[in-house]
């Protein structure tokens, strides 16, 4: 290497590279991931109200719909987080592929977890499922007949809509697979979040991995319990039809 | 014992390269892996075949020169061991062994199993140093350092810069290497003066060399012959944020 090249390297203008540095991309990934995790936590608590009953869930849904400012703030923040999360994920994936143009003839995995190695795939599957999920329950495009369901108080009958939707084995099956993918994704994401932000050391790491697995399992049980309960008739349509 | 080897052969950086099959005959379990390759090369020379080029220097496990991907694992199957310290007793008669070079865009192949790791040197030149004025040799132990900090620095300084972390990483990321160097200097009083600039410059240069990004697989830690912990990557990230937020 000649002197001018060396000069060029040693005089890298440090602040300029901050926004695109590898470490910064990881931070964007981690922070937007945390936002999305908060979203699905609140969403789960909302959904689980189906076990309390029709009145509770429909009331909760109506309250959310009436808080327009909150609703749209959450929606916009979440959409921006989704875009950044997917953009950094795909960008990192392409950059990382480029970093090893010729792959090994034989490559063994020593300790990397299955969830860590499948983040891009579980992530994309979750994304495609979320689009379907929004079409089904938010925009009510896939089953337009549910848009006009009303309960006795004249509220949109979210409760019956969910039960009718999940009574279909294919819809329930797809949902359970999607939340399984989500649990996988989360099990790597949580400990990764702390590692990326530097809140980690060798004493904390095993505990974080355990915590991440526990949280992932809780999310899976929480979300999957709804279609399973519908299929097992634990959660039923209101007496006298909807 | 007799073994079947599949070895990556490549004349020069421009050559496409391919896997070639060789027989390793009359290998004893006492040989190191590199000695086994020496025997195979003797045999190849007798057959008028160009011997296999591979990197090696101290053969004591401390220089970081040897660099072979053995059956898909950098430095082979034994944990915390460089190839030169790996013995043939870890293999058995009739085994098939795949030997490949480190694979990374930032480590171009020079020949066969030898890669050019000067990207690591350039990262060190970008910030992996402390500035000391020339003069008389300073008194040993004249700067007090706590046992805890000295231990952390020593754990990080165990890195021999072999590049196994890059080879093992599915993303060909060099973060464990840079993390070890950054943590080593940041833990010592002598490293404080350039602390903030160092981490920023080394990371900026790492990105420039074309290494991948860390996505926390932790394969690097498992492959590292010196067992450098991924906790140093977390520490490097901390150092980077502190430096970015508080400026120079």
CATH code, domain with B237: 1.10.1060.10
The whole-number pLDDT of residue A20 equals 59
Residue A11 has pLDDT above 80, yes or no: no
Q: CB-based contact (8 Å) between A64 and chain B?
A: no
Q: Is the dihedral of CA B42, B47, B48, B50 positive or negative?
A: negative
Domain boundary among B48, B76, B110: B110
Q: Are residues B78 and B125 in the same domain?
A: no
Q: Are A84 and A32 in contact (CB under 8 A)?
A: yes
Give contacts of A196 with chain B, Cβ < 8 Å.
216, 237
CB contact under 8 A, B210 and A98: yes
Q: How far is B144 from chain A (nearest CA, A)?
A: 25
Residue spans of chain B under pLDDT 50:
none
Local structure of residue B143 (DSSP, 8 states)? S
Mean pLDDT of chain A: 90
Using a pLDDT cut of 70, give the percent of chain A over it. Answer: 90
Residue B52 contacts residue B74 (beta carbons within 8 Å)? no
Give pLDDT, residue A241: 53
Residue B56: the pLDDT is: 97
Same-domain check for residues B54 and B152: no
- Same domain membership, residue B103 and residue B128: no
Show which of B61, B90, B110 is a domain's final residue.
Answer: B110
pLDDT digit string, tens, across residues B202-215: 999 999 999 999 99
Say if the Cβ atoms of B170 and A117 lie within 8 Å.
Answer: yes
pLDDT digits (tens, 9 = 90+) for A126-183: 999 999 999 999 999 998 888 889 998 999 999 999 999 999 999 999 999 999 999 9
- Cβ–Cβ of B73/A108 closer than 8 Å? yes
What's the rounded mean pLDDT across residues A93-110?
Answer: 95
Residues 6+ apart with CB under 8 A from B120: B161, B163, B174, B177
> Looking at the structure, do residues B32 and B96 belong to the same domain, yes or no?
yes
Separation CA A214–CA A229 (nearest Å):
22
Structure token pair of residue B64:
């970081």
| Helical pair A54-66 and A68-98, crossing angle rounded to 10 deg | 90
Q: Do residues B11 and B105 both lie within one domain?
A: yes
User: Is B100 in the same domain as B122?
Assistant: no
Shared domain for B228 and B179, answered yes or no, is: yes
pLDDT single digits (tens) A184-207? 999 999 999 999 999 998 899 999
List, as one string, the DSSP characters of chain A.
Answer: --HHHHHHHHT--GGGGGGG-HHHHHHHHHHHHHHHHHHHHHHHHHHGGGGT-HHHHHHHHHHHHH-HHHHHHHHHHHHHHHHHHHHHHHHHHHHHHHT-SS--SS---SS--HHHHTHHHHHHHHHHHHHHHIIIIIS--SSGGGGG-B-TTSSB-HHHHHHHHHTSHHHHHHHHHHHHHHHHHHHHHHHHHHHHTT---TTHHHHHHHHHHHHHHHHHHHHHHHHHHHHTTSS-PPTT--
Helix (H) or strand (E) holding B121, with range, is helix B118-127
- pLDDT computed for residue A121 by the predictor: 97
Q: How far is CA A95 from CA A91, A99, B98, B169, B194, in A?
A: 6, 6, 27, 13, 30
C-alpha to C-alpha distance for B157 and B145, rounded to whole angstroms: 15
- Residues B141, B169, single domain; the answer is yes
Task: Bin B89: left if φ > 0, else alpha if -120 < ψ < 50, else beta.
Answer: alpha
Confidence of residue A6 (pLDDT cuts 50, 70, 90): very low
Q: Quick one: angle between helices A169-196 and A158-166, nearest 10?
A: 100
Largest separation between any pair of C-alpha atoms in chain B: 64
| Residue numbers of A between 16 and 35 with CB closer than 8 Å to B | 17-18, 20-27
CB B147 within 8 A of CB B195: no
pLDDT of residue B138: 81
How high is the pLDDT of residue B141?
84
- In B, minimum Cα distance to A192 occurs at B216
Q: Which chain A positions have a beta carbon within 8 Å of B96's beta carbon? A: none
Q: Is B106 on the interface with A (CB under 8 A)?
A: yes
- Say what the pLDDT of residue B58 is: 96
> Is residue B235 domain-shared with residue B125, that is, in the same domain?
yes
Using the Cβ of B125 and the Cβ atoms of chain A, whether some distance falls under 8 Å is answered with yes
Structural domain for B21, as ranges: 3-110
| Selected residues 185-224 of chain A with any CB under 8 Å from a CB in chain B | 188, 191-192, 194-202, 205
* The last residue of a domain, from among B59, B80, B110: B110
pLDDT value for A12: 39
Q: Cβ of A8 under 8 Å from any chain B Cβ? A: no
| B167 & B101 share domain | no
Q: What is the mean pLDDT of residues A30-34?
A: 97
> What pTM, to 2 d.p., does this model score?
0.92
Place of tokens 């938010």: A138
Domains and their CATH numbers in chain A: 19-231 (1.20.1300.10)
Contact call for residues A178 and A121 (beta carbons, < 8 A): no
* Cα–Cα dist A99/B219, whole Å: 16
Residues 55-84 of B with CB under 8 A from A: 69, 71-73
Which of A12, A98, A123 to probe by mutation at the B interface, max B CB count within 10 Å? A12
Contact B233 A195 (CB under 8 A): yes
The distance of A151 to chain B (nearest Cα, Å) reads 48
Chain A residues in contact with B208 (beta carbon < 8 A): 9, 12
State how many domains chain B has.
2
- pLDDT at A240 (0 to 100): 55
Name residues 157-176 of chain B within 8 A of A (Cβ). Answer: 168, 170-173, 175
d(CA B70, CA B68): 6
Q: Do A14 and B125 touch (CB under 8 A)?
A: no
* B148 & B99 share domain: no
pLDDT the model gives residue B169: 97
């Amino acid at each position: 290497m000649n002197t001018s090249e060396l000069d060029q390297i040693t005089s890298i203008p440090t602040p300029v590279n901050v926004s695109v540095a590898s470490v910064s991309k990881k931070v964007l990934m981690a922070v937007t991931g945390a936002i999305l995790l908060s979203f699905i936590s609140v969403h789960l608590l909302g959904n689980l109200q189906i076990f309390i009953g029709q009145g509770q869930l429909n009331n909760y849904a109506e309250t959310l719909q009436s808080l327009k400012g909150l609703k749209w703030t959450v929606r916009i923040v979440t959409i921006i987080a989704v875009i950044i999360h997917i953009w950094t994920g795909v960008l990192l994936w392409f950059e990382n592929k480029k970093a090893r143009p010729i792959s090994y003839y034989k490559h063994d995995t020593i300790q990397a977890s299955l969830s860590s190695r499948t983040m891009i795939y579980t992530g994309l599957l979750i994304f495609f499922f979320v689009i379907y999920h929004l079409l089904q329950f938010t925009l009510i495009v896939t089953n337009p007949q549910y848009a006009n369901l009303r309960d006795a108080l004249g509220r949109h009958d979210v409760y019956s809509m969910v039960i009718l939707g999940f009574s279909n084995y294919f819809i329930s099956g797809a949902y359970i697979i999607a939340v399984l993918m989500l649990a996988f994704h989360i099990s790597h994401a949580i400990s990764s979040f702390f590692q990326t932000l530097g809140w980690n050391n060798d004493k904390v790491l095993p505990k974080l991995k355990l915590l991440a697995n526990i949280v992932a399992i809780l999310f899976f049980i929480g979300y999957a319990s709804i279609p399973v309960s519908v299929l097992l008739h634990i959660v039923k349509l209101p007496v006298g039809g909807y | 014992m007799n073994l079947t080897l599949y070895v990556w052969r490549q004349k020069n950086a421009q050559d496409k390269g391919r896997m070639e099959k060789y027989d390793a005959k009359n290998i004893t379990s006492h040989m190191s892996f590199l000695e086994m390759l020496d025997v195979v090369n003797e045999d190849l020379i007798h057959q008028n075949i160009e011997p296999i080029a591979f990197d090696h220097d101290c053969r004591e496990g401390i220089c970081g020169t040897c660099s072979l991907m053995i059956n898909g694992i950098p430095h082979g199957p034994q944990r915390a061991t460089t190839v030169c310290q790996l013995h043939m007793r870890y293999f058995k008669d009739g085994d098939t062994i795949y030997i490949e070079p480190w694979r990374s865009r930032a480590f171009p192949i020079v020949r066969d199993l030898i890669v050019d790791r000067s990207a690591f040197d350039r990262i060190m030149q970008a910030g992996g140093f402390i500035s000391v004025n020339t003069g008389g040799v300073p008194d040993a132990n004249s700067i007090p350092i706590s046992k805890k900090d000295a231990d952390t620095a020593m754990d990080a300084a165990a890195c021999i810069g072999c590049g196994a972390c890059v080879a093992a990483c599915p993303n060909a990321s060099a973060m464990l290497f840079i993390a070890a160097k950054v943590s080593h200097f940041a833990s010592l009083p002598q490293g404080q003066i350039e602390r903030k600039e160092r981490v920023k410059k080394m990371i900026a240069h790492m990105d420039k060399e074309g290494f991948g990004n860390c996505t926390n697989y932790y394969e690097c830690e498992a492959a590292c012959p010196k067992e450098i912990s991924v906790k140093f990557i977390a520490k490097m990230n901390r150092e980077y944020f502190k430096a970015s937020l508080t400026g120079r």
